[in-house]
Amino acid sequence: MTPPEETEVVGGVSGPQATLQKIDDDIAAPFESFPTTRWLAAFTVAKIGAAIFGISFVYTIAVGIGSWGNNNPVGWGFAITNFVFWIGIGHAGTLISAILYLLRQKWRTSIARFAEAMTIFAVIVALQFPMVHTGRPWLAAYWLLPLPNANGIWVNFRSPLLWDVFAVSTYALVSLMFWYTGLIPDLAAARDRATHRVRKLVYGILSLGWKGSNRAWQHYEKAYLLFAGLSTPLVLSVHSVVSFDFATSVIPGWHTTIFPPYFVAGAIFSGFAMVATLIIIMRKYFKLQHIITIDHLDVMNRIVLVTSLMVGYAYMMELFIAWYSGVAFERFAFMNRAFGSYGWAYAIMVTCNVILPQLLWFKKIRRTIKYMYPIVIAVNIGMWFERFVIIMALHRDFLPSSWHDFTPTIVDYGLLVGSFGLFLTLLLLFCRFLPTVAVAEAKAVAPGAQPTGGHHA
Amino acid sequence: MSSNDATPNDPTGYAEGAPAGADAMHQGLAVLGRSEVPIHDDHVDAPSASEMTRRTAMKMLSLTAMVGMVSGCVRKPERRIIAMHDRPEYQQPGMPLYYASTWLEGAHPYGLLVKQIDGRPIKLEGLQGHPLNPGGKSTGPMQASLYSLYDPERLRSPKQGGADVSWSAADKAVVGALKGAQRVLLVTRSTLGPAEKALVARFRKAVPGALHMHYEPAQDRVRREVWKQVYGAPGEVTTSLENAKVILSIDSDFLGTDGDVLGNTRGFSATRDPNGEVFSRLYVAESGMTGTGTSADHRIPLRPSAAKEFVVGLAMALGGDSKTLSASAGRFGWDPKVLEALVKDLNANRGAAAVLAGPHLPAFVHSAVASLNATLGAAGKTLGWNPTPAAAIATDPAELLQALNAGPDVAIFLGVNPMHDFPGAGFADALGKAKFTVAQGLTEDETLAAAEIALPSAHALESWNDAAVSPGVKGLAQPMIAPLFGGRQIGDSLLAWTKALATGDDALAKTKDFHAWLKSAWGLGQTAWEGALRKGYVGSAAKTTLPAPKGAGFPEPADPVEGGYDVVLALHPNTGDGRWQGNAWLLETPETCNKVVWDNVAAMAPSTASALGVEEGDWIKVTVGEASVELPVLPQPGVQKNTIVTHVGYGRTKGAGHGNGVGVNVAALGVGLLAAKVVKASGDKYLISRTQHVFDQDYSHTDTPVKRHIALSGTPKEYAEYKAQPPRPDPSTLDPTDGTLSFPDTQKHKIPLTQIDEAVDYSKGAKWGLAIDLGQCTGCNACMLACQTENNIVIDGKEEVAKGRDMSWIRIDRYEAGPEDNPEILLQPMLCQHCDNAPCETVCPVNATTHSPEGLNEQVYNRCVGTRYCNNNCPYKVRRFNFFNYTGKQTTSPVQELRANPHVTVRTRGVMEKCTFCIQRINAAKFAVPDRGERLKDGAVTTACQQACPADAIVFGDANIKGGKIDRARKSDLAYHVLEEINVRPNVTYAARIRNVHPDLDHPVKGGH
């Protein structure tokens, strides 16, 4: 990676104005000032979205899955698509915060906090779906857990859905703890800067008495490293397990050994696209361009490009294997993906996930917001459709007599749109109340923070 | 009603010789008033104080607190508890009793075996050994009768001028009107029993000048009149198709709607074993698509108005002159090779051939068919004669109209609904001319609503009756439950009025009710009467032969109009002539051939549809004379060009419950076969709800078909070649590249299928399996309806079915192959395959679907949380999910809860369900064995679908019994498993269908489809 001219540290915080005090002030500004009209407007929109989600959610539980478009051949529809989509979004956060941390990719510091927060919220949103999609969520909520019960019935450890329960709950817990651990020094900073008693109290409690002592920092670093180590395998395992839902089935188009790596690549792909989508807006409105620089975006775009090639490879390999296997049902399933009732969705998927991201080969596009933004948005859309296309393998499986198309209802759309509302609500609250960039880490890569930098603060 | 004589027919024989006079009905029924249902006190099995642990004490404490809080707010309604100390004889709570009866809702009075639990009839079966139906088989409507019995739509009180009145007031009004009436018109169905007929005679004696008419909206009056003239009596031609080697049907759906369908199917299926002594060949020339055409070996699309040319040409060809036939073949597009084969076959099989013609065809055709059958020597061999059929010849509707237009003083309609289904125009006006109208029916239908006096009828299962079953055999029908809604059977109405009018007739005055009338009409001693009741019928079938036909001059029908359209108003395979239009079970059961539910549509050839410029859901206007109706279009391969086929009886407006507003009433057009003008009509796209959309099992996006090998068939030549091949390889080794190992597969078996899981040893106990013979299935839907009744399967309505949420546990898949104007059809009943390596079982996270030690795939409703993963992973897509609370939705009245089979769990919202192989029947059979460890004998368990199937296409049993039914079925060289190559190891075996094509037309093996 060639260091851009205007920076002193590769992927570091840029610009002469980035003094350590200024980093503190800039990062703290969003949660120390009165909310701007922009924030309030965004929050209102997000709240409306969240309300749509809530209404659709409650309506589904009150009335039944019949309020969705699902039917007998197509048992899963939008809900599981959304679930896989949001779980995938979460992956970027863990990848950035854990794997890149272990690989000493210092440029990650500016975006790690935000990406982690996004992970948490994406997982929270994702977790809504497995529950609400069951026929009897009031029972599923605890029967899916391995709790001893009077009937002596145990959960079925052969079911990939149960593996999901373990994988996703582990993921959610580890991500949460990882995120929170990273937050502690910054919460303490927020506490120390706080002028209002309530703020002081809340941040005080949340920062768990952090004093910034050398010992504390040592423990903190160890814990952070430990969590990074714990999270790293999860990046690979969670989406692999999610892909088992499909891969272990007998349904043509689902029964595919390529799914685990393909899903992981796809998850990272969509996750980075989502991080880019959000962070481009955030850095602008919270004026953090000097902390989250164009270099960061460039690096992220490169990862988007690489993962796009991976999913593109997977798409082609799926088709090849379907043909090479010679199995009539497999061949048909993939022909049907491209030319069946949901061929349009397949076309969107390929266009958004494979064709458009190729533009990122060009440096100019990678480093220009207005060019890259449509591309990352397209990737978000494309990845949602990827999951949709996979799940729609159900509409034409083995026996033509049972084939039936899936037509989503307004409740399906409500849950889809609403899930973004819920996600954004959580994200905006995060921006409002917590430091969106890891202050301590950002300082560590700021000009002058390094012993070799020449400027001792 | 007194029902002291009802005697259980106990097929197990335990009750043999038991003293009769059991007051079973009366006692059983007394508990049916809802408030009087014996309530088993839900006393809690609380541990006694000495056993109480601290934990229990805490539980009890919190429970008490909760109960206190709740009961403090709500005052519990008072409920009475009545002990069953006076238990009816034979009856044990929760245990079934079986009663013999007779099914009187159709033209053929089949024997019934009614299963009754705690006083509630909950299942109907055919009565085994009954002369008309020895196998004890069922039709779909027979199975669905229970829906109508418990239909909350039924009229609950007599009405006069729309207001509820008492029975005595209503009777008084009727009798008052009848007294001194000059002209009285009595209209009934044509299927009155002998006792009812005698009563009608007495009524007419008491009311001088009363006219009695048999009204049937769509009955085969024309054909019966022809038979009356040619055979010399108002009888009916019967069939003995088991003696037939060649059968020709000219637009007769004899396996579905026409005539004695159970008898026809039984006879036909007896000759359909390709390895049997006789393997018959069925030729069907038909206008629309029917189950019979589906079963044909050769099917000829026939323009119904050209039936005359067909029969005449055929008769001449049998006489050696085939010129006319080939000329007509050229004109109407019949396949000359098939006709040649047909003529050859008929000539070669004189004395073993039968020709059947559909009821809607003109008189000329029927008389020609009669002489054709005489030429073929069918009499006494394949065709018989019943001089006294249960159904009288229906009155000409014109006569009814004339009688009404004459302005009768009183017009009485019993069990008929001409306001809705009168063929042609003018009935409503004519009815207005009657000075006083009385109508009796199950629900307040169009005719009851228009009548001055409307009377609720008792359901056939609530009534006493008898029937002329066949020559020498009389059937008895006994009530299975007291009238649920205070209805009274038609016989009782007639008796009440006759008694009031026939003053001075002491014997009649002393006749308490129709039951007494019936009993005295039968004139049996108490023991003989009880014996008759127990048996369901008396007498044995007398042999009657078909007389030689007398030539009778019938007018030649007009030639088919070039460019014109034929319209066939056909009977619906489920709802018949519309008499079951209020039966939502029958409405939701798909039509055999186009899989449409909840509608009658204008089925037409796709080429006709494109000529008219219409697509599925568009509207056409059909005009016959002055009358016209608009119908939604369904292009359907196989329907004859320029022919519109639709079904009668639809478009009810009153009294049909869920059936109100369903479909279009086509009665205004007339009846049967009509020449019509057809044009495209405007109108919004109409939603036609179908349970199947893709009918090509080799459906592909490219020109190369995807060979799926799901439903298999072949020709005799292919079968012979297949049999000549070296023995089949081990079925566990299959070639995944070319579908299933099966007939007539070539042998390319490469990859051994292995099982990762530990193999389960099923050899110790029973191992349940089911086998279905595709060569036998006629698509009559009886299995679907039997399953619906037995297993409490819900209906969920047209919109839900359109969304792909039909709830049937067994469905009949239908696959078409070949040319669009005359495709080859394969039917395949599809149900849970109870796979030994079931993909559904591994994926359920909560273990709600598991495998039993006897090889059943079990679904535990209580444990199911509804992830629907099991159904996603089911290759056969036979699982059904309760997307809504369908049970709650369909139960509009508590009375419907009485219908449910108490031995099958009623499912709630959010739960997956599917075929259980009738596990409740398996368990019942096990309980019946004195030694519980004893192995059940082969045939000890019958599933509901198997029991109903008129063609005996379904076999169920223990596969571990060597030489047993399943063992034999599986060892047949036609046997295969659907999707065998995905290694789910299904327990349902299918036998490929052999299409018995004529040897001249048998094409060489190309690898079947």
B839 → closest Cβ in A139, A162, A249: A249
Model confidence band, residue B237 (pLDDT cutoffs 50, 70, 90)? very high
CATH topology of domain B713-755+765-1001: Alpha-Beta Plaits (3.30.70)
Substitution target in B692, B860, B873 with the highest count of A β-carbons within 10 Å is: B873
Q: Do B885 and A248 touch (CB under 8 A)?
A: no
Set of chain A residues whose Cβ sits within 8 Å of the Cβ of B700:
332, 335
Q: Which residue of A has its CA nearest to B872?
A: A75
Q: What is the pLDDT of residues B822-856, one digit of tens each?
A: 999 999 999 999 998 899 999 999 999 999 999 99
Set of chain B residues whose Cβ sits within 8 Å of the Cβ of A154:
847
Give the contacts of B802 (CB within 8 A, at least 6 positions apart): B687, B689, B690
Set of chain A residues whose Cβ sits within 8 Å of the Cβ of B909:
64, 135-136
Residue A45, domain extent: 20-306+407-453
Q: Quick one: how far is CA A202 from the chain centroid?
A: 28
Which ranges constitute the DSSP H helices of A351-402?
A: 363-366, 369-391
Q: How many CB atoms lie within 10 A of CB B786?
A: 28
Model confidence band, residue B33 (pLDDT cutoffs 50, 70, 90)? very low
Using DSSP bridges, classify how beta strands B627-635 and B751-752 pair: parallel, antiparallel or unpaired.
unpaired
Give the contacts of B72 (CB within 8 A, at least 6 positions apart): none
Q: Do A135 and B695 touch (CB under 8 A)?
A: no
pLDDT at B754: 65
From the list B311, B306, B318, the residue with the least C-alpha distance to B355 is B311
Q: Please provide residue B995's backbone torsions phi and psi, each rounded to the nearest 5 degrees.
A: -85, 115
Q: Do A329 and B847 touch (CB under 8 A)?
A: no
Angle between helices B782-790 and B140-149 (to 10 degrees): 40
Set of chain B residues whose Cβ sits within 8 Å of the Cβ of A325:
736
Give the contacts of B564 (CB within 8 A, at least 6 positions apart): B642, B675, B676, B677
Which ranges constitute the DSSP H helices of A103-213?
A: 109-132, 137-143, 160-193, 197-206
Asked whether residue A338 is assigned to any structural domain, the reply reads no
Q: Which residue of A has its CA nearest to B983?
A: A250
What's the 3-state SS for B554-569? Answer: CCCCCCCCCCCEEEEE
What torsion do the CA atoms of B83, B89, B93, B94 make, to the nearest 10 degrees?
A: -160
pLDDT at B71: 54
Contact A6/A14 with Cβ under 8 angstroms? yes
> Region B363-376: what's the mean pLDDT?
92
pLDDT: is B785 or B209 the higher one? B785
Q: What is the pLDDT of residues A266-289, one digit of tens each?
A: 998 998 898 889 888 888 877 778
Q: How far apart are CA B945 and CA B773, in angstroms?
A: 13
Q: Do A160 and B843 touch (CB under 8 A)?
A: yes
Q: What is the pLDDT of residues B420-478, one digit of tens each?
A: 999 988 899 999 999 999 999 999 999 999 999 999 999 999 999 999 988 889 999 99
DSSP H or E run through B467: strand B465-470
Q: How far apart are CA B961 and CA B576, in angstroms?
A: 41
Set of chain A residues whose Cβ sits within 8 Å of the Cβ of B828:
401
Q: How far apart are CA A277 and CA A114, in angstroms?
A: 12
| Sequence spans of domains, chain B | 159-219+392-461+486-521, 221-386, 565-681, 713-755+765-1001
From the list B581, B642, B558, B578, the residue with the least C-alpha distance to B608 is B642
Asked whether residue A326 is assigned to any structural domain, the reply reads no
Q: Do B863 and A71 touch (CB under 8 A)?
A: no
DSSP H or E run through A297: helix A294-325
Q: Which residue of A has its CA nearest to B707?
A: A328
> What are the residues facing B467 on neighbouring strands?
B475
Set of chain A residues whose Cβ sits within 8 Å of the Cβ of B877:
72-73, 397-399, 402
Q: Do B702 and A401 touch (CB under 8 A)?
A: no
Tokens coding B239: 């069939």
* CATH classification for the domain delimited by B565-681, as one of 2.40.40.20, 3.40.1280.10, 3.30.43.10, 3.10.580.10: 2.40.40.20
Set of chain B residues whose Cβ sits within 8 Å of the Cβ of A332:
699-701, 706
Assign domain B221-386 to a CATH class.
Answer: alpha beta
> What are the residues facing A9 on neighbouring strands?
none
Q: How far apart are CA B188 and CA B490, in angstroms?
A: 9
Residue B1008 is classified by DSSP as -
Set of chain B residues whose Cβ sits within 8 Å of the Cβ of A400:
694-697, 699, 708, 710, 815
> Region B626-631: what's the mean pLDDT?
92
Total domain count, chain A? 1
> Region B592-615: what's the mean pLDDT?
93
Put the strands of the sheet holding B768-773 in their side by side order: B954-958, B768-773, B988-991, B975-976
CA distance B738 to chain A (A): 7
> Cα Rg for chain B, rounded, in angstroms?
29
What three-state secondary structure class fits B715? coil
pLDDT at A11: 43
End-to-end CA distance of chain A: 28
CATH topology of domain B159-219+392-461+486-521: Rossmann fold (3.40.50)
A399 → closest Cβ in B805, B842, B877: B877
Contact B734/B749 with Cβ under 8 angstroms? yes
pLDDT at A275: 86
B805 → closest Cβ in A71, A158, A329: A71
Contact B858/B850 with Cβ under 8 angstroms? yes
Contact B297/B804 with Cβ under 8 angstroms? no
Q: ∠ CA B948-B950-B951 to the nearest 5 degrees?
A: 125
Kindly tell me if the per-residue pLDDT of B746 is higher than 60: no
DSSP H or E run through B175: helix B167-178
ipTM of the prediction = 0.90
A136 → closest Cβ in B696, B814, B865: B865
Which ranges constitute the DSSP H helices of B834-933?
A: 839-843, 869-872, 886-890, 919-928
Q: Please provide residue A278's backbone torsions phi and psi, each rounded to the nearest 5 degrees.
A: -80, -40
> What are the residues facing B468 on neighbouring strands?
B474
> What are the residues facing B160 on neighbouring strands?
B163, B453
Q: What is the pLDDT of residues A386-404, one digit of tens each?
A: 999 999 999 999 999 999 9
Q: How far apart are CA B338 and CA B547, in angstroms?
A: 31
From the list A54, A128, A46, A144, the residue with the least C-alpha distance to A86 is A128
Which ranges constitute the DSSP H helices of B513-583?
A: 514-522, 526-535
What three-state secondary structure class fits B776? coil
Model confidence band, residue B551 (pLDDT cutoffs 50, 70, 90)? confident
Tokens coding B323: 């010129």
Model confidence band, residue B749 (pLDDT cutoffs 50, 70, 90)? very low
Residue type for position B902: P
Q: How far apart are CA A79 and CA B846, in angstroms?
A: 20
Q: Which residue of B has its CA nearest to A144?
A: B846
> What are the residues facing B954 on neighbouring strands?
B772
Q: Do A135 and B885 touch (CB under 8 A)?
A: no
> What are the residues facing B353 on neighbouring strands?
B246
Q: How far apart are CA A125 and CA A135, in angstroms?
A: 19
CA distance A95 to chain B (A): 29
What's the 3-state SS for B45-107? Answer: CCCCHHHCCHHHHHHHHHHHHHHHHHHHHCCCCCCCCCCCCCCCCCCCCCCEEEEEEECCCCC
CA max distance for chain B: 101
pLDDT at A36: 79
Q: How far apart are CA B679 and CA B619, in angstroms?
A: 9
Q: What is the pLDDT of residues A163-186, one digit of tens each?
A: 999 999 999 999 899 889 888 988
Model confidence band, residue B778 (pLDDT cutoffs 50, 70, 90)? very high
Q: What is the pLDDT of residues B955-993, one digit of tens each?
A: 999 999 989 999 988 888 888 888 887 888 899 999 989
Residue type for position B959: A
Q: Please provide residue B515's backbone torsions phi and psi, each rounded to the nearest 5 degrees.
A: -60, -45
Model confidence band, residue B167 (pLDDT cutoffs 50, 70, 90)? very high
Contact B24/B121 with Cβ under 8 angstroms? no
Q: Do B710 and A400 touch (CB under 8 A)?
A: yes
B701 → closest Cβ in A154, A156, A336: A336
A161 → closest Cβ in B738, B843, B882: B843
Exposed / middle / buried, residue B316 (Cβ in 10 Å: 0-12, 13-18, 19+): middle
pLDDT at B99: 93
Set of chain B residues whose Cβ sits within 8 Å of the Cβ of A134:
865-867, 910
Q: Do A72 and B911 touch (CB under 8 A)?
A: no
Dihedral class, residue B647 (left if φ above 0, else alpha if ψ from -120 to 50, else beta): beta
CA distance A88 to chain B (A): 21
Substitution target in A168, A337, A399, A403 with the highest count of B β-carbons within 10 Å is: A399
Give the contacts of B689 (CB within 8 A, at least 6 positions apart): B596, B597, B598, B599, B798, B799, B801, B802
Contact B401/B431 with Cβ under 8 angstroms? no
From the list A277, A303, A305, A280, the residue with the least C-alpha distance to A293 is A280
Tokens coding B761: 């040893």
Q: How far apart are CA B886 and CA B197, in angstroms?
A: 43
Set of chain A residues whose Cβ sits within 8 Å of the Cβ of B831:
none
Q: ∠ CA B550-B551-B556 to the nearest 5 degrees?
A: 145
Q: ∠ CA B226-B227-B230 to the nearest 5 degrees?
A: 85
> Region A151-157: what's the mean pLDDT?
86
Kindly report the pTM of this predicted structure: 0.88
Contact B499/B516 with Cβ under 8 angstroms? no
